[in-house]
Structure 1
Amino acid sequence: MMKKGAIIWIIIAIGLVVIGLIVPVSTKPADETRVIIDHTKNVYSSPACFDQAGLTNNLEETTFGYAIQIGYESESSCTETEYFGKRKPFLLAIFE
């Protein structure tokens, strides 16, 4: 038979897992996430939004971390949604 203390810890652990799977958090892309930057407009675009972005031909493929480091902004709400609009359960977000 389990002791009361062990049962309490099991209940607490199960509660934390359930809360971690229910509570959504917004995630940001990893620094290694691929982006396309436009050096003329000083913006970055997600590859999924590239065709509708209206960028110039002064482009470079790089990482999200580098684009932020050099001070570039998101080119549109499409890129914002693609990279920042994703909400995931807390426990899944910490394993990314």
Structure 2
Amino acid sequence: MKNSMNKGVFAFGLAFIVLITAGLFIPIQLEAPPDARTIVDHNTRVYVTPPCFNQADMTNYLQETDYSEAKELGYEPESSCTVETLVEEDVPIVVALLKTIGVANTKWDDEFVWG
């Protein structure tokens, strides 16, 4: 009885270590959080992110909002720059989990860039 219990604990421990190790090497893509700062242009029905604003072709009917509202409005990203700033590529699963629960910072936490 005790021997089979030790084997079960060992198997569980080994599986846990394998999963954590794999999670350090398997990359995924993170999407910006719903509250990421975004600027919408109501004339052209596009949105832009702060890092791309200076190079964007926007009119004067602008509103500062968040990413979730820009998507709800059905607006399109202004450029590939905006699309690229709304994702974080090749993040290991374990790191992505830490970023999602707020333990580790994401690129959208940078107040200097994202306000």
TM over 0.5: yes
Q: 1:19 corresponds to which residue?
A: 22
Q: Secondary structure at the match of 1:27?
A: strand
In the TM superposition, what is the alpha-carbon distance from 1:85 to its structure 2 partner? 4.8
CA distance in 1: counterparts of 2:34 and 2:90, whole angstroms: 18
For the pair 1:53 / 2:53, whether they are aligned, the reply is no
Aligned AA (2:57)? G
Aligned AA (2:29)? S
CA distance in 2: counterparts of 1:4 and 1:82, whole angstroms: 47
In the TM superposition, what is the alpha-carbon distance from 1:88 to its structure 2 partner? 0.8
Structure 2: unaligned runs, 5 residues or longer: 101-115
Give the structure-1-normalised TM-score.
0.91
CA distance in 1: counterparts of 2:96 and 2:22, whole angstroms: 13
Q: 2:38 corresponds to which residue?
A: 35
Structure 1: unaligned runs, 5 residues or longer: none
List per-residue Cα deviations over 1:5-56 (Å, max 9, x = no partner). Answer: 1111111001101111111111111111110111111011110000001111
Give the structure-2-normalised TM-score.
0.77
In the TM superposition, what is the alpha-carbon distance from 1:87 to its structure 2 partner? 2.7
1:8 pairs with one of 11, 14, 18: 11
Q: Percent identity?
A: 37
Q: 1:71 corresponds to which residue?
A: 74
CA distance in 1: counterparts of 2:49 and 2:89, whole angstroms: 14
